[in-house]
Amino acid sequence: MCHQTGRSQTALLNVLWIADPEVFSKEIMILQGSNIMNINPSANSHSLQPSWTAPYPTCDGFFSGQWHDVHPQYWTKFQVWEWLQQFVETNQLDASCIPFQEFDITGERLCSMTLQDFTQATGAVGHILYSNVQNLKWHGQYGSQVLQSLNVVIKTEQTDPGSITPWKEDTFLYESSYDDLYDVKAFSRSQLSTAAANHYNAAYAESDVKKSQDHPQRASVKKHNPRGTHLWEFIRDILLTPEKNPGLIRWEDRSEGVFRFLKSEAVAQLWGKKKNNSSMTYEKLSRAMRYYYKREILERVDGRRLVYKFGKNARGWKENDS
DNA sequence: AGCCATTTTCCTGTTT
DNA sequence: TAAACAGGAAAATGGC
């Protein structure tokens, strides 16, 4: 298979996990929404010089004219490339995994590619790319805003009507119940890598509101819980709540409580935001995580970067826990 | 005011 | 080489 970084195993798992096209398209849309993607081809490690040279039309509106607004059949070469780049980004793959030169094609050609074409071009990742294209071809939301699409996708995940408010631009500002008021807009626009953060902040702030409304006693501060929510609970809650977790942390082994940070710095930023600490980093967050080993809230997972496992003193992460 | 749990910050060294 | 991991030390934080 193609060359990968040390993340090869987990990257593959990641890809397989994300095979659910609905989840995948949601992630794409969320990430796309914050320009997390680098659309400068020269910055890509592949240094591909695509044949398209026309500058990409400027987006005055919120993401108008980008690949997700258009049926893949009508994608330009740039849009195909953009979609691929997003795929790599979302899955934290090494860019060398994808032979970009094989995709110097228009959307029309892309849509005509068979599964075999994809697997020949990209190996094991091919079937995911193929299914994503098929999904976009037949079930995509086009012609308008990402946000509209996002709402649709979120609605499809909504099992408890009324429990989730669709995420909208104008609902960025939330009144949070117990720990802070997120100026999500100001925060997320200024941070790296945080379309994820945008979405997360909105969802997280809202669920805090809901939690305190439903369970006022839980919102009250418990003994020696100086900051309202412990770090491990914050991490757990991201994992347990898909709408809070647009590709930030992912289960590696759900039943064993093994999980992996996908966007470690973005999570740190969010933790910092929650604690009103703009200088939080993954390095500092991870030090706090390591203290949990001794308390058996976490167990070590040797040899796997960014991977942790809940320990016997961590509560509420198991599937049957409420 | 002081104690305590829980980080946060900083650091040096090691591993991947 | 960069990023992540390890863990000591000390400071900060905020509830009790």
> Is the Cβ atom of A282 within 7 Å of strand B at any atom?
no
Rounded distance between C-alpha atoms, residue A64 and residue A72, angstroms: 15
**Rg, Å, chain A Cα set:** 20
Residue A161's pLDDT band (boundaries 50, 70, 90)? very low
* Coarse DSSP helix, strand, coil percentages of chain A, rounded to the nearest 5 percent: 50, 5, 45
Higher pLDDT, A223 or A37: A223
Which residues, by CB, come closer than 7 Å to strand C? A 221-227, 264-265, 282-283, 286-287, 290, 293, 300, 302, 305-307
CA of A205 to C1' of B5 (A): 25
Let me know: does A266 contact A196? Beta carbons within 8 Å.
Answer: yes
List bases, strand B, within 7 Å of protein CB.
4-11, 16
Residue-wise pLDDT for A176-224, tens only, equals 322 332 333 333 333 334 444 555 555 554 444 444 444 444 433 345 5
Q: pLDDT higher for A182 or A60?
A: A182
Please name the residue ranges forming H helices in A220-281.
Answer: 231-240, 264-274
Whether residue A308 contacts residue A297, with contact meaning beta carbons closer than 8 Å, is answered with no
DSSP string across A129-171 = HHHHHHHHHHH---SS-HHHHHHHHHHHH-SSTTSSPPP-GGG
Percentage of chain A beyond pLDDT 90 is 25
Q: Is the CB of A161 under 7 A from strand B?
A: no
| Structure-token match 């010089």, residue found | A49
Please, which residues have CB within 8 angstroms of residue A125's CB and are 6 or more apart in sequence? A2, A15, A93, A97, A98
Better pLDDT: A102 or A17: A102
Angle at A236 between CA A315 and CA A247, to 5 degrees: 160
Q: Is strand B within 7 Å of residue A289 (CB)?
A: no
Residue A166 pLDDT more than 90? Answer: no
Of all nucleotides, the one whose C1′ comes closest to residue A302's CA is C5
Listed ranges A113-117, A143-147, A188-192; the one with the highest mean pLDDT? A113-117
Q: Do residues A129 and A6 lie in contact, with contact meaning Cβ atoms separated by under 8 Å?
A: no
Nucleotide nearest to A308 (CA to C1'): C5
The pTM assigned to this predicted structure is 0.47
- Cβ neighbors of A128 (< 8 A, separation 6 or more) are A15, A16, A18, A19, A24
- Whether CB of A256 is under 7 Å from strand B: the answer is no
Protein CA at A124 to nucleotide C1' at B16, angstroms: 25
Q: Is strand B in 7 Å reach of the CB of A285?
A: yes
CA-to-CA separations, A113 to A7, A118, A160, A171, A233, in angstroms, rounded? 28, 7, 38, 40, 45
pLDDT of residue A228: 72
Digit-coded pLDDT (tens) for A222-279: 455 555 789 999 999 999 988 778 889 999 999 999 999 999 999 999 999 999 999 9
CA→C1' distance for A297 and C7 (Å) = 17
The answer to whether A159 CB sits below 7 Å from nucleic acid chain B is no
Collect all residues with Cβ–Cβ distance below 8 Å to A270 and sequence separation of at least 6.
A194, A197, A200, A201, A204, A248
Q: What percent of chain A has pLDDT over 70?
A: 46
Nearest CA among A127, A48, A37 for reference residue A89:
A37
Protein CA A256 to sugar C1' B6 (Å): 26
The pLDDT, as a whole number, for residue A314 is 96
| Strand B closer than 7 A to residue A254 Cβ | no
Stated in angstroms, how far is A172 CA from C13 C1'? 29
pLDDT at A224: 53
Angle (nearest 5°) at CA A184 between A182 and A188 = 140
- Tally Cβ neighbours within 10 Å of residue A21: 18
Q: For residue A108, what are its two tokens?
A: 């029309």
For chain A, what is the mean pLDDT? 61
Instruction: State which nucleotides on strand C lie below 7 Å from a protein beta carbon.
Output: 4-9, 13-16
Task: Indicate if CB(A59) is under 7 A from strand B.
Answer: no
